[in-house]
Amino acid sequence: MPEELKHIVESLLFVSETPLTLQQLKSLLEEESTASIREALDALVDEYAGRDGGFVLKQVAGGYQFRTQGRYNTWIKRLLRPSAPRMSRAALETLAIIAYNQPIVRSDVEHIRGVDSGGVIRMLMERKLIRVLGRKEIPGRPLIYATTKYFLEVFELKDLKDLPTPREIEELSRSQVDEAPDLALSGKPTQPADHPDPSAPEADSPEIDFSDDEPETPYADRSEASPIEEPPPQAEEPGPAAD
pLDDT at 196: 39
Rounded distance, CA 143 to CA 210, Å?
8
* Digitized pLDDT (tens) for each residue of the chain, 243 residues in all: 688 999 999 999 999 989 999 999 999 999 999 999 999 999 999 999 999 999 999 998 889 999 999 899 888 888 876 554 577 888 988 999 999 999 999 999 999 999 999 999 999 999 999 999 999 998 889 999 999 988 888 887 888 888 877 676 666 656 554 444 445 554 444 444 334 343 333 333 333 333 333 333 232 332 333 333 444 444 444 455 544
The per-residue pLDDT for 80 is 74
* pLDDT number for residue 160: 85
Write the CATH number of the domain with boundaries 3-68.
1.10.10.10
| Pair type for strands 104-105 and 130-135 | unpaired
So what's the pLDDT on residue 231? 43
Report the C-alpha dihedral over residues 164, 125, 184, 70, rounded to 10 degrees. -30
* pLDDT confidence of residue 86: 72
DSSP 178: T
Same fold, 3-68 and 82-182+191-204: yes
For residue 1, what are the CA distances in angstroms to 11, 36, 42, 72, 103?
16, 6, 11, 33, 42
> How distant is the alpha carbon of residue 190 from its chain centre?
9
The full set of domain ranges for the chain reads 3-68, 82-182+191-204
Question: What's the pTM value of the predicted model, to 2 decimals?
Answer: 0.49
DSSP 4-42: HHHHHHHHHHHH-SSPBPHHHHHHH-TTS-HHHHHHHHH
Instruction: Say if residues 207 and 118 touch (Cβ distance below 8 Å).
Output: yes
Burial class (CB in 10 A: 0-12, 13-18, 19+), 205: middle
Q: What are phi and psi of 28, to 5 degrees?
A: -85, -30
The topology under which CATH files domain 82-182+191-204 is Arc Repressor Mutant, subunit A (1.10.10)
